[in-house]
Chain A
């Protein structure tokens, strides 16, 4: 045995030592695995502590260890720690193997004897494997200084501005004709009730004017290739049918356009827009788009009113969709959320009972720039409601719909209660399950509402109906609810009911996630690298998430995440070059038969067939090291660094060395 292997068994306080007899494991390894090259075996209270690490370093230097195996916690926690320790003692970090006897053993088993035996098996697997480790050098790749931000809501806007202000270029891609996202639809924002447009518009304008931001609205990313530092994104910019070089945004075209359609996006279905339109007056960019599927010219070949009246001749019915390719080093996804579809809860009458509203509809209703000019009136357009009910948690915290809390609905319902009260003087009833007001200034806002005289009824609304039982209910909407504080069923007659719909992941979040190679939770929120310690990074290097795309949150939290993601990207840009794990596949040219079986297997198109040599070759910068091609090559011509056949086959052997059934048969 040419390798000199050092084995280190960690107690992790009592975390491991409480179940696994670590002294026995270490002694066993020293004796029984000597034949496999183990020259030193120790156990220590905390291997990850600086003293523990020094222990390893000292042995490397004094005993000339050539391999190190640490039996401790999960490699996802401390692999780096021990690799660095080895590097500190001039041993190539990849010659170290960390095997988990905590997460996979002491924490999940209760039988001490079995857990100790298993620890030996795991350790022996590591020892068998480490012999085949190779000294590796991390791959260095340059970081392209440009960044792609997808989604121009408040989170994406913040991220783009932070990066652009720091002096680096950003491509901001937004699907709608304008940036702004949901926040642009609101009138006031809780808890301070600042006017949403007043705080958002300046930021939108900054984005529009920023020399470091290329704003691509009415656009979507179609394809992403590459890897951190070197992504290539293909963006489809839909035809606007307006030449932005010529358009001044004067608005004559949408004034003259004879055709109105219901605006399902910005006005949440509550108002209309023209077929050539900008979603709202402060839109950035100011250029309109023609909604071709609804345009009379595209449907019937006549009209062209906009073209006739445009003073600068900016209308161009022949414009085509364009494909733009950009090269970027990092990507931030800030695609936001969709509102829960309240029609899924027919018991609440939305769509059937005219004066039942969704929360977003109410935002537009209360908005001075909205369809009623901010007058809170019923669907007839004139009657001011005298009694208004606001139902919290619609579609949230409900096993039949979304099990999670949407985080913003309580506060948004309180905001609505305040606005209704202030503007109409109506009696307001808030129906809540629990009141959740955890952020700064939120509980104070709730107290304010209590003082304003809002009625708070604790209970889940069973039904909203118009079937009156008594004369007072005639012509009203009746909310049927169990008031759990007094333990009674109540029927409350109202003029207007607002459903505080929960928020959920974008309908296409999964497909978009796939496009960028990141994964979604069961509820389709994008998964962060670590739920506490790494909330804006993802498992894919170079791809970050911010805002509601990651999970329900309010504006301050979305802004904080946008800025955090930007800081992470700026950190990467400043490094100029980063090192990647050298876990990569390589084709051994002499063994390759040129069958090309591997060629189509790689999701990153890393494998190229060299026509001249008639063999396949792997681009190490594109290869992500999944190993699928290694497993598939019939000639065994592909080797996977870090996860080679020898390493894995030996590990299997090692794991089985101490077969529970054949305990006695263990070779000495």
Chain B
């Protein structure tokens, strides 16, 4: 295999800051890796851990969660809740045999297009180094079933 591995990253952005950071990167024509595909949530607090698992099951190699900076959440403090879920998720993923490096959290304000673009670039490289996830195939049976049922439900 000489071909370089192109990871697929699913990015969750909040409507008010990080999605606008992505918009900003676009308006300013900053360039970043095409491997990321974004989903807009109203707030990072909307991030249901199931979404992350669903992305992995569906074939994503990594997931990036992004929101407003602490203190800047449009809904006051919901990004702290996202932060808690992020830490919890990392543990759960590790237990499921997924490298914690496949989940990333980044804060980006509406003005931080450059940070957004830069983070995506770096992250895609990190994930490239981790290689393909291939988790569904490898781990489907070994993973505790209740969670999987929920994800498939």
Q: How far is the CB of A160 from chain B (nearest CB, A)?
A: 27
Surface stretch bound by A, among B26-34, B90-98, B100-108: B26-34
Which residues 34-55 in B have Cβ within 8 Å of A in the complex? 34-35, 37-43, 45-51, 54-55
> Is there contact, CB below 8 Å, between B16 and A105?
no
The 8 Å CB contact of B46, one of A75, A640, A656, A661, is A640
Q: B69-86 CB contact bits vs A (8 Å, 1 = yes)?
A: 001101111100100010
Bound CA span A103–B81, Å: 28
Q: CB-CB < 8 A to A659: which residues of B?
A: 8, 58-59
B60 touches A656 (CB 8 A): yes
Residue contact A603 to B54, C-beta cutoff 8 Å:
no
Q: Which of A640, A652, A655, A661 has the most CB of B within 10 A?
A: A652
Chain A's closest residue to B82 (CB) is A628
Q: Which residues of B contact A143 (CB under 8 A)?
A: none
**Is A539's CB under 8 angstroms from B74's CB?**
yes
Interface bracket on A: 35 or more
A604 CB contacts on chain B under 8 angstroms: 75-76
Q: Is A386 an interface residue (CB 8 A)?
A: no
| Per-residue B-contact encoding for A637-668, CB less than 8 Å = 1, 0 else | 00010110100110111011001111000000
Are A649 and B51 interface neighbours, CB within 8 A?
A: yes
- Chain B residue with Cβ nearest A19: B34
B74 lies within 8 A of A107 (CB): no
Is B111's beta carbon under 8 Å from chain A? yes
Residues of A within 8 A of B127 (CB): none
A103:B43 contact, CB within 8 angstroms: no
Residue of A nearest to B52 (CB): A652
Annotate B131-152 by CB proximity to A: 1 below 8 A, 0 otherwise: 0100000000000000000000
Which of A521, A631, A649 makes the CB contact (< 8 A) with B111? A521
Enumerate chain A residues within 8 angstroms of B64, measured Cβ to Cβ: none
With A104-B22, A649-B54 as contacts: A630 and B48 at CB distance below 8 Å: yes
Q: Given contacts A76-B20, A102-B26, A110-B31, are A651 and B111 in contact (CB under 8 A)?
A: no
Q: State how many angstroms separate the Cβ of B78 from the closest Cβ of chain A.
A: 5
Asked if B117 and A652 make an inter-chain contact with CB atoms under 8 angstroms apart, the answer reads: no
A540 at the interface (CB under 8 A from B): yes
A660 to B43, CA, bound (A): 28
| Min CB–CB distance A103 → chain B (angstroms) | 3
Query: How many CB-defined contacts (below 8 Å) exist between A and B?
Result: 151
Are A627 and B54 CB-contacts (below 8 A) given A108-B29, A661-B59? no
User: A125 contacts the other chain (Cβ, under 8 Å)?
Assistant: yes
A479 to B60: give the CA distance in the assembly, Å. 63
Q: Are A649 and B16 in contact (CB under 8 A)?
A: no
* Cβ < 8 Å to B, chain A residues 101-138: 102-105, 107-111, 114-115, 117-118, 121-122, 125
Residues of B in contact, count (CB < 8 Å): 53
- Which interface residue of A111, A514, A660 has the most chain B CB atoms within 10 A? A660
**Is there contact, CB below 8 Å, between B42 and A603?**
no
Closest to B30 in A: A108
A630 and B8 contacting across the interface, CB-CB below 8 Å: no
Chain B residues with Cβ below 8 Å from A75 are: 40
A208 adjacent to chain B (CB < 8 Å): no
A484 an interface residue at 8 Å Cβ cutoff? no
Residue with the highest number of chain B CB atoms closer than 10 Å, among A102, A107, A632: A107
Q: Is B42 a contact of A583 with CB atoms below 8 Å?
A: yes
Question: Are the CB atoms of A626 and B27 closer together than 8 Å?
Answer: no
Q: Indicate if the CB atoms of B31 and A652 lie closer than 8 Å.
A: no
On whether the beta carbons of A652 and B55 are closer than 8 Å, the reply is: yes
A655 touches B75 (CB 8 A): no
A649 CB contacts on chain B under 8 angstroms: 50-51, 54
Also in contact, A628 and B81, with CB within 8 A (given A76-B20, A108-B30, A660-B8):
yes
18 A-B residue pairings within 8 Å (CB atoms): A103-B22, A103-B23, A107-B29, A109-B34, A118-B37, A517-B76, A519-B17, A627-B46, A630-B48, A631-B85, A640-B46, A652-B51, A652-B58, A653-B54, A655-B58, A656-B60, A660-B35, A662-B59
Query: Which residues of A does B touch, CB under 8 Å?
Result: 74-76, 100, 102-105, 107-111, 114-115, 117-118, 121-122, 125, 510, 514, 517, 519-522, 527, 539-540, 583, 601, 603-604, 624-628, 630-632, 640, 642-643, 645, 648-649, 651-653, 655-656, 659-662
Known pairs A627-B41, A653-B54; list 18 more (Cβ under 8 Å). A74-B23, A75-B40, A103-B23, A105-B34, A108-B30, A109-B32, A514-B76, A519-B68, A522-B111, A626-B74, A628-B46, A645-B48, A645-B50, A649-B50, A649-B51, A652-B55, A656-B10, A660-B35
B residues apposed to A, CB below 8 Å: 5-6, 8, 10, 16-17, 19-20, 22-23, 25-27, 29-32, 34-35, 37-43, 45-51, 54-55, 58-60, 68, 71-72, 74-78, 81, 85, 109-111, 117, 132
A-B CB proximity, top 6 nearest:
A103-B26, A627-B46, A628-B45, A626-B75, A603-B76, A656-B58
